[in-house]
Amino acid sequence: MIHPTAIVSAQAELGARVSVGPYTLIGEQVVIHDEVEIAGHVVLAGPCEIGSGTQIYPFASLGQPPQDLKYRGEPTRLIVGQRNVIREYVTMNRGTVGGGGITSVGDDNLFMTQTHVAHDSIVGSHNVFANMASLAGHVIVGDYTILGAFVGVHQFCRIGDHAFVGGMTKLTKDALPYARTDGTEARCYGANTVGLRRKGFSNETIRQIQHAFHLLLSSKLNTSQALERIKAEMVGIPEIDYLTTFIEGSQRGVTK
């Protein structure tokens, strides 16, 4: 199921039931697993791996060298998981040696038009990137996040699980898990209550998350004091443990 105008390298590996549209270019060291649908005018450069069931729309460009002036042609990779939807003009670059050599994307993500995943970024699963959301290099995105249109994420930032980042937000610090973060000068507005309910979180768990954010954002405690209170009052709750660990592991600071 390869269109006669497509150019596929003899060194590429294509799985079963792969379709390739017109004028698509697939380079050396590209591995495409089963049942991947590749539209016309797509460019896949290697080393690059595309997981099964992924759909790639026209004019997407995946696996090109990183946009990093330190890159000198070293062999690095892009790994994309299963059942991702990659819409028009999406770009995903390979990693750099200094960043570990791999840019990786998990499963079941939706990348809307013109989104960008830069070198050495790690994206989890079940995320939604709205139009033109962009990750700079070395960004880590958890699972079940939503990035609104035109979101820009600074290098080395992290976005926690179940975070909602509003459109046109500029993130220069980490976006907290379970939270709503918004604004050109990003601010955290507390628990992402609507999103958590949609994901099936219990009312009790949501109440505990809300209380943790009250201590972090609305009390007169500083971050260290708030963390002490949270850990003392809500022991052994997985979501709270993840929240406190995320904050304590921050290198750039968290958005409050």
Sign of the CA dihedral 129, 80, 57, 121?
Answer: positive
Model confidence pLDDT, tens digit, residues 191-208: 999 999 999 999 999 999
Residue 21 CA to residue 2 CA, distance in Å, equals 7
Cα distance between residue 121 and residue 155, in whole Å: 9
Q: What is the pLDDT of residues 238-248, one digit of tens each?
A: 999 999 999 99
- Tens of pLDDT along 90-145? 999 999 999 999 999 999 999 999 999 999 999 999 999 999 999 999 999 999 99
**Cα distance between residue 94 and residue 154, in whole Å:** 18
Q: Which domains, from first to last, does the chain contain?
A: 7-138 (2.160.10.10), 196-248 (1.20.1180.10)
pLDDT of 62: 98
Q: What is the dihedral of CA 62, 73, 123, 155, to 10 degrees?
A: -120
Residues in CB range of 211: below 8 A, 6 or more apart: 233, 234
What CA–CA distances, in Å, run from 119 to 123, 151, 184? 11, 17, 24
> HSE (CB half, 13 Å, CA atoms) of 242?
16
Return mean pLDDT, the chain.
Answer: 97
Residues labelled catalytic: 119-120, 137
The pLDDT of 152-157, averaged and rounded, is 98
Question: In this predicted model, what pLDDT tens digit does every residue of 18-46 receive, in sequence order?
Answer: 999 999 999 999 999 999 999 999 999 99
Q: How far apart are alpha carbons 59 and 47 in whole angstroms?
A: 19
The pLDDT tens digits for 81-93 are: 999 999 999 999 9
Q: What pLDDT does residue 43 have?
A: 98
pLDDT in tens, 224-239: 999 999 999 999 999 9
Residue type, 52: S
Distances (CA, A) of 234 to 14, 227, 230, 237: 50, 10, 6, 6
Name the residue with tokens 């949609």.
198
Confidence bin at 54 (pLDDT 50/70/90): very high
Mean pLDDT confidence for 209-216: 97
Q: What is the pLDDT at residue 223?
A: 95
CA torsion 135-139-143-146 (nearest 10°) is: -30
Q: Report if pTM > 0.85.
A: yes
Give yes or no for a cis peptide into 22 (omega within 30° of 0). Answer: no
